[in-house]
Amino acid sequence: MKPLSKMIALVTGASRGVGLGIALALGAAGATVYITGRTVDSSAPTVPLPGTIHETAAEVTARGGTGIAVQCDHRDDAQVKAVFERIQREQGRLDVLVNNAWGGYEGYVTGAHQAPNTPFWDVRLPYWDENVDGVRWTYIASVLGAQAMVAQKSGLIVNISFPVPNAGNVAYGVAKTAVDRITWDTAQQLQPHGVAVVSLYPGLVRTENVLANAQWFDMSNSESPEFTGRAVVALATDPQVLSKTGGKYVVARLAQDYNFDDIDGKRPHPVF
């Protein structure tokens, strides 16, 4: 029996990128994985990168889990609530919630965003909302996920975040700092109910976007999207995961702690 064969998971924003990698790793461990995202047709002219929720779900099932695609725009609270209601109706529980959905990267693919080191006074104003909206998505999903997990007295919430440098991209930095604050505050209230909450910090991940711009990166220490997924699996199978609640964890450091490698057999070294 696979280690997560009895677990129900939800990964938000899993059409591609890190969300896709997490969903696949959970599927390989036997989980039933609900996958949310907006993309159901990657050939649509408004979709700049390949990948759909249905393709992710099919691959999760092929890996040995059960993939269930649910189209959801996380900007619409009613759609998000419907996802959690469906999971409760069909499964009666939710064991793992991964808050990965994020809109702040899309403009780098479409060309709408300036370079990340652009002075904040020269950055287009909507960039603020495109990043900070992701904080709200994390909060709303955490509220709905916590309601299910508190009732069952167990669960794990993983918020995908990133360490903020001393200075740089203002909107992104504020947003990711806020996500980590959500992790800390929700963890304090959920710990007595047996629910753990952590922030995860991937390194340089070989997402579709990064690979399309690989000439600008040193890829020698890069990670596959599934490397973060293996970190989620390690946390989900750790009987002492509550001891980590409220913390911020670098994926490559968790690989050392839990002794797992990337899909190519290598173990990227921590850069934070």
Q: How far apart are CA 174 and CA 182, in angstroms?
A: 12
Structure tokens at 16: 């591609």
Query: 60, 54, 24, 58: which is closest to 41 by C-alpha?
Result: 54
Structure tokens at 122: 């020269």
Q: How far apart are CA 75 and CA 140, in angstroms?
A: 10
Q: Residue 137, SS3?
A: helix
Query: 26, 17, 18: which is closest to 68 by C-alpha?
Result: 26
Contact 255, 268 (CB under 8 A): yes
Among 105, 127, 139, 172, which one carries the catalytic annotation?
172
172 catalytic per annotation: yes
Residue with tokens 């999971």: 87
Phi-psi region of 143 (alpha: psi -120 to 50; beta: other; left: phi over 0): alpha
Q: How far apart are CA 35 and CA 83, in angstroms?
A: 10
Neighbours of 22 (CB within 10 A): 34
Sign of CA dihedral 60, 228, 52, 10: positive
User: Which CA distances in Å does 85 have to 9, 91, 178?
Assistant: 14, 10, 27
Under DSSP, the state recorded for 42 is: T
Residues marked active site are found at 172
